[in-house]
Structure 1
Amino acid sequence: MAGPSGMFVYGIVPADVEPTEDAVGVGDPPGEVTAVVHGELAALVSEVDLEQPVGRPVDLTAYQELLDGTAAVAPVVPVRFGTVVTGTDAVHDLLDAHRDRFRAALDELDGRTQYTVRGRFHESELMGALLAENPGAADLAEQVRGQPEAASREQRIRLGEIISQAVELRREAETRELVDVLGPVAVTSTVRPPGHEMDAMHVSFLVDVDRADEFAVVAEEFAGQRRELVRMRLLGPLAPYDFVDAHHLAG
C-alpha cells in the first residue's frame, strides 16, 4: 500500500469467528478481511490507505455484505461505517475498552437477526383516499385544478399543509398497526424516520432465527392486505444494525 495505512473496522464477533476466504473489504483495491483477536472477542478489519477516502457506494455495499454474511452464521456487533483506527494496537485498545459492552451485546444477539420492513404509499391511491375523507381538501383541490400557480398560490399552500398532515397521520397509523401485528413474532422493534414524503413505514425488527420463517409469513400476509395502498418490502436477514449501540463507540 503506497500511502499511510489504517485499519477499517467492520464489526465485533466472538474470538472463534473468522472471515471467509472470499470476504471482500472496502477500498480500491479491496483490502483482505482478517480477524484481530483479543481475549474472548475479535474485530473484523481490513487495511486501508488513509489517503484514499472510503465512502463510495461500493464500499458501503462491501461493508454490509460482510456483516450480513457474518450475521448469518454468528452474532456480530456492527461498528459504525467509516470507522478507521491507526493499526492493530488500536483495535486491541478498542476491544479492551468496551469488552463488557461488546460481550453483553453478542450474548443478546446470539441466535437473532434483523429484518426491516419498508413501505411506500401508492401516491394516486393515497391522494384519492385522503380527498374522499376530507371535503375541505377536496374543495381546495377543485379550486386549484387548471388554475395558474400564481393565481392559486394560497389555496395550494393550504392544500399542501392538509395533505402533509394527513399523510403523517396515516403513516403513524400504518406503522402502529405493523408493529402490533409483527411485534408478537419478534423480540423487539425500532421505528426509523421516513426517508421520503410518501413513506408509509420503516421499521426494523429483531427476530429469533428459529421464528424467521413465521415472521416472514406474517409480514407477507400484512403486505397482502395493503397492496392496493402500500408497496411493501421485507429486507433480511441482516446484521443487527439498528439494535446495538456499540456502533456509536468508535470513530
Structure 2
Amino acid sequence: MTTQEAEPSGATGLFIYGIVPSDVEPTPDAEGVGDPPGEVTAVRHGDLAALVSEVGLEEPMGRPADLSAYQTLLDGTAAVAPVLPVRFGTVVTGQDAVAELLEAHHDRFAAALDEFEDRLQYTVHGRFDEEEMISDFLTENSAAAALAEQVRGRQEAETREKRIRLGEMISQGVELRREAENRALIEALTPYAVAHAPRPPSSELDAMNVAFLVATDDEEDFVRAVEDFAEQRRGLVRMRLLGPLAPYDFVSAHQLVA
C-alpha cells in the first residue's frame, strides 16, 4: 500500500523492499532509499520478515539512486536467501502495518519463498548491430534490396514514399527476426533454467530480452550456454547477461500491490 493523502510535515513511514524468511538479518552496511540513505531493518512476523527502512512521507521517491538502492539490496539478499521483491515505492505507516501484511498473506508468501529457495534470476538482453542486421535483411529479401537500390543516392524528397515503404519492410523484418531469436534463445537455455519470462523490447533494435529463473546448482552451465549462444551471433547481436538478480520477473503473483 502507499500513502495517498497529505501527511503532516516530518511524518515518516516504512519503505518495504521485500519479503524474506524470518531468520534473514540485514547486514550493518545495508543502505536503503532516501537522502541520506535509511537504515535497513527487518520486521518479523511468524516465519516471515519484511526488509524495510524509514522514509519521510513528503520525501520525493523514484530518483535513480533510490532505484539503485532498492535493486542492490534485493539482489544482494537473493544471493544468500530467497526473497520476494515488493513493488518499488510501497510505503506503509509503521511496523504494525507491516506485521498485518505479513499475517494476511503468510501462507502465500511462505509457499513462494519455498519455491524460490536456491533460485536466482538472470536476464539475457541482446541488440542487433543495425548495419549488419539491415545488410542481412537486404540479402535475404530481394524486394527490399531492389527498393533500397532505387532510393540510393537520390534526393529524399523525390523518394519519400519508397523510403517509407522500405522502412516498414525493415521494421517488419527486425520484428520477425526478434521473434525467431527469442525462440532460439529460450530453446537453447531451457535445459538449464527452471522457468523463463519473455520481456518487452526496450528498443526497436532489440534482438532478445528474456528473464530466466535458474537453480544455483545450474548457474555455471547456464552462463556457459549463454556464452555459446552469444558466440554464434557475434557480429550480428551484442548480448548482455544481467545477474544474478532477485526474481523480479517471477513474483507477480506474490507481490504486494500498491
TM-score by length of 1: 0.97
Cα distance between partner residues in 2 of 1:54 and 1:247? 23
CA distance in 2, matches of 1:204, 1:167: 21
Q: Does 1:132 align with 2:139?
A: yes
Q: Which of the numbers 225, 242, 251 marks the counterpart of 2:249?
A: 242
Superposed, which structure 2 residues align to 1:16-165 within 5 Å?
16-165=23-172
Any runs of at least 4 consecutive aligned residues in structure 1 with deviations exceeding 4 A, and if so which? none
Following superposition, the deviation at residue 196 of structure 1 comes to 0.2
Shift of 1:247: 5.9
**1:96 aligned partner, one-letter code:** E
Contact 2:85–2:247 under 8 Å retained in 1: yes
5+ long unaligned stretches in structure 2: 1-8
Deviation at 1:248, TM superposition (A): 4.0
Q: Is the 8 A contact 1:80 1:247 kept in 2?
A: no
TM-score w.r.t. structure 2 length?
Answer: 0.94
Q: Which residue of 1 aligns with 2:220?
A: 213
Unaligned runs of 5+ in 1: none
User: Counterpart of 1:75 in 2: which secondary structure?
Assistant: coil
- Trace 1:166-245 onto structure 2 (pairs within 5 A): 166-245=173-252
CA RMSD of aligned residues (A): 1.1
- Residue-pair matches, total: 250
Asked if the contact 1:79–1:246 (Cα under 8 Å) also holds between the matched residues in 2, the reply is no
Give the residue type in structure 2 aligned to 1:205: F
2:23 paired with 1:10:
no
Q: Secondary structure at the match of 1:151?
A: helix
Contact 2:84 2:255 in 1 (8 A): no
SS at 2:18 equivalent: strand
Secondary structure at the counterpart of residue 152 of structure 1: helix
The 2-side partners of 1:175 and 1:18 are apart by 38
